[in-house]
Copies of this chain bind each other. A is one copy, B any other.
Amino acid sequence: MSNTAASIITIGDELLIGQVIDTNSAWIARKLNELGIDVLRRVAVGDNKTAIINALDEELALARVVIITGGLGPTADDITKPLLNEYTGGKMMISERVLDHLKNLFARRNRPFLERNMKQAEVPDTCAILFNKMGTAPGMWFDKDGKVIIALPGVPFEMVSIMENEALPRLKERFTSGVLMHRSIITAGEGESFIADKIMDIEESLPAHIKLAYLPGAGMVRLRLTGRGTDKAIIDGELGNWQAEFATRLGKIVVALEDVPLEYILWKWFTENKKTLGLAESCTGGFIGHHLTQIRGSSDYFNGAIVCYSNRVKEKLLGVSGETLKKEGAVSEQTAIEMAKGALDALESDIAFSVTGLMSAGGESDRLPIGTVWMAVADKEKVKTKVFNFPYDRERNKEMAVSMGMLMIWKFVND
């Protein structure tokens, strides 16, 4: 069986000079996938009429649904709307509903309603309007020769709102399609090759309609099983069996059987076990706290963090001894231990994690290699430490420290 095929076209010079990272495409792809619509290609082109028309021609030849984002704003570099008007042989007309919405929006924001904002209420008469309650530029749905073109603004939260409230329900109604399901196995501590070797025979015996993919990340590899078919219950059952077989073989490196982030796994463990967590973050600057609090309900176990960027804060709020800082240095096993113990007290938590390291040149780089990071996890009885040497740049070293830190907490509580 074949699913409905879609392509995504993103428009904007900023994408081609790399000023902006495209997060829209991934989100759209995920949502289409949930409806059983396969994304064949994603294409980014500049604010250039010929390039956009070529991309439209090409993608419409391959796919039944083409989703375009970007180029719908009120400024001169936004050309998608007039172009689609021409492409579909339409005529521009004012939408009263959009105009009302715009005037209300500007009044609420105490902004003057300008002539160029009037333009935003204009839409081709060849489209159905996809109402944008979050912003000014309406989305548009065109039917053209049995295919569908959907145009959305590039601002991510506006795009999301229009997709969820307007476009996805219509797509669902229009394209009933086959079943496409996923199952995941999240592993930690071993590399892609090791895993591939360990499960090779199972992987080779997978039927043609079930595929396995490897998605390596920092210290973790996610395995994704994808099943296709017509009967949801059958595919679901098959995927469940294969997932169990892989997971049994992989044993203790399996962290989770759903595609959830580590912060979710931690939230689950801590709330189920009614324990609280506190952090003492130096070199990560609060990034671990940020990750943990991405999960709704994290306040049930996460007491807080002390981001001790200066040594003075390490001493004053965490009770790290001046002696230790002087003799061992801020980036040392002993400092990490004292930070973790200090966080247990200061944040009154059952378990505390600390991290102190050198992310880029400067600070203690005269006596330690850049990328040296010490971590500690402690409860009332014991403390465990670990040292890392991350070889990357500042940003990547920070990300690695966050992943490895959360993994270390997970291992500590699962030991």
Contacts and interface: CB of A to CB of B under 8 A. Distances in A.
A42 interface: yes
Contact of A18 (B30, B43, B211): B30
Interface stretch (A142-150, A227-235, A245-253, A280-288): A280-288
A310 interface: yes
B396 A157 contact: yes
A242 B14 CA distance: 20
A317 interface: yes
B16 A73 contact: no
Contacts of A309: 289, 293, 298-299, 302-305
Contacts of A53: none
A95 interface: no
Contacts of A285: 286, 289-290, 292-294, 298, 302, 305
A273 interface: no
A114 interface: yes
Which secondary structure characterizes the binding site on chain A? mixed
A307 B305 contact: yes
Interface in A296-346: 296-299, 302-310, 312-313, 316-317, 346
Interface stretch (A167-175, A189-197, A264-272, A373-381): A189-197
B303 A306 contact: no
A398 B292 CA distance: 13
Interface string A1-38: 00000000000011111111111011111110100001
A82 interface: no
Contact of A73 (B21, B55, B136, B216): B216
B362 A297 contact: yes
A258 interface: no
Interface stretch (A86-94, A387-395, A405-413): A387-395
A193 B21 CA distance: 23
Given A74-B193, A77-B214, A203-B76, A42 B26 contact: no
Interface string A100-140: 00000000000100101100000000000000001010000
A39 interface: yes
Contacts of A156: 396
Contacts of A216: 73, 155
B38 A30 contact: no
B58 A58 contact: yes
Given A40-B46, A41-B44, A312-B303, A192 B75 contact: yes
A208 interface: no
A217 B248 CA distance: 46
A17 B310 contact: no
A307 B307 contact: yes
Interface in A184-229: 191-194, 196-197, 203, 211-216, 222, 224, 226
Given A286-B288, A307-B304, A346 B317 contact: yes
Given A18-B39, A111-B191, 5 more contacts: A13-B211, A16-B40, A22-B26, A293-B398, A296-B360
Interface of A: 13-23, 25-31, 33, 38-47, 51, 55, 58, 73-77, 111, 114, 116-117, 134, 136, 155-157, 182, 191-194, 196-197, 203, 211-216, 222, 224, 226, 259, 279, 281, 283-290, 292-294, 296-299, 302-310, 312-313, 316-317, 346-348, 359-363, 391-396, 398
30 contacts: A13-B213, A16-B39, A16-B42, A17-B39, A19-B30, A19-B224, A41-B55, A43-B43, A43-B44, A74-B193, A77-B212, A77-B214, A117-B193, A134-B391, A156-B396, A281-B286, A285-B286, A285-B298, A286-B290, A287-B293, A289-B289, A290-B398, A294-B395, A296-B360, A299-B309, A304-B307, A304-B313, A307-B307, A313-B347, A316-B348
